[in-house]
Structure 1
């Protein structure tokens, strides 16, 4: 118990010693310094002297600060010039890219226009082909109708003189009774040939 009290007293004495040295520093150095500074500023104010301007003048006479002041505008100008050059180069690069994009756009527009013209031509050709197909279908239907109106005796020799493809096209579109009558008037070889082709 006594040891604990002694240890506690020693700790208190050490803390008082530390706080005492800080208080001494505060009392002997900082407070007089602050008081002196305030007194000098008040006197300078009544003497119409700007302390801050004087401090700038005095610091301007120091060698390392003077050299820095001399170099700063030059370095600043160099840095600005470099930035200007860099920005001009970037502007030229962007303009070149823009020009290329504009050229590509113009080229695409021209190609698109050509494709539209070609599409119109193809649509016109398709329309012509459809009309021709309709006309040929109408013509073919008229031919089939003609063969149906002809006598079997007259139509059989005509069909045998045609190419096989044309003959088959007509025979497959005739009515069955007309077809039977035409086969009766053909030679057995021709009738067998056309019958075999129709069944394939």
Structure 2
């Protein structure tokens, strides 16, 4: 029976240990972690407060005070190095910004010049169209035979341009007054435009 009692005592001992971990230890650890996370998210520095609190405990005070001095010395050196690296990076980025600003100014000037040239081209095209309209009005005020003689005397492309500007009725009358081969050539070229 002693063997059975010994096993029963071991099982009771294991059950008590399991009960302690499951019911007391794990929930307390979980609660501490959860509270630490929540306080950290709310902006409360839990680690510094824990160091502050532990600095009042005599044995722990020596551990934290020595550690803080060493960490501060290492931090100062590493922070100075980081600052110098970041300053160099800032200087490089500042130069790049200046270069980009110059490029933006140059592109802005180019864009202004292109806009001005487009305006000039549009004005020239408008003037050319007005001149063609005036030429078409001149042909419309003439007799078809006289207009046909003038258009026949013009170079091919210019004659075709003048013919394309007049009304369809006048174009038909002018082509009727022209030589049939020349009229056929103009009609073919007008159809291909």
Give the TM-score taking structure 1 as reference length: 0.56
Distance in 1 (CA, whole Å) between partners of 2:168 and 2:82 is: 85
The answer for the alignment partner of 1:150 in structure 2 is: 142
- Counterparts of 1:45-124 in structure 2, within 5 Å, are 82-124=74-116
Which portions of structure 1, spanning 4 or more consecutive aligned residues, are displaced by more than 6 angstroms? 76-79
CA shift for structure 1 position 148: 1.4
Question: Could you tell me how far apart the structure 2 residues matched to 1:183 and 1:77 are?
Answer: 105
**Aligned twin of 2:153:** 161
Runs of 5+ unmatched residues, structure 1: 12-72
Cα RMSD for the two superposed structures: 3.0
**1:134 aligned residue (126, 143, 147):** 126
In 1: Cα distance, 2:105 partner to 2:166 partner: 50
Counterpart Cα distance in 2 of 1:175 and 1:80:
93
Structure of larger gyration radius: 1
CA–CA distance in 2 between the matches of 1:79 and 1:171?
93
**Correspondence for 1:192:** 184
Moved more, 79-88 or 109-118: 79-88
2:135 and 2:175 map into 1 onto residues whose CA distance is 18
Deviation for aligned residue 1:81: 5.3
Q: Which residue of the partner structure matches residue 163 of structure 2?
A: 171
| CA distance, structure 1, for counterparts of residue 129 and residue 184 of structure 2 | 28
Distance, in Å, in 1 between the alignment partners of 2:163 and 2:153 is 13
Structure 2 gap ranges (5+): 7-65
- CA offsets per residue over residues 22-48 of structure 1, 9 Å max, x none? xxxxxxxxxxxxxxxxxxxxxxxxxxx
Contact (CA 8 Å) 2:148, 2:177: kept in 1 or not?
yes
1:21-79: CA deviation from partner (whole Å, max 9, x where unpaired): xxxxxxxxxxxxxxxxxxxxxxxxxxxxxxxxxxxxxxxxxxxxxxxxxxxx9xx9887
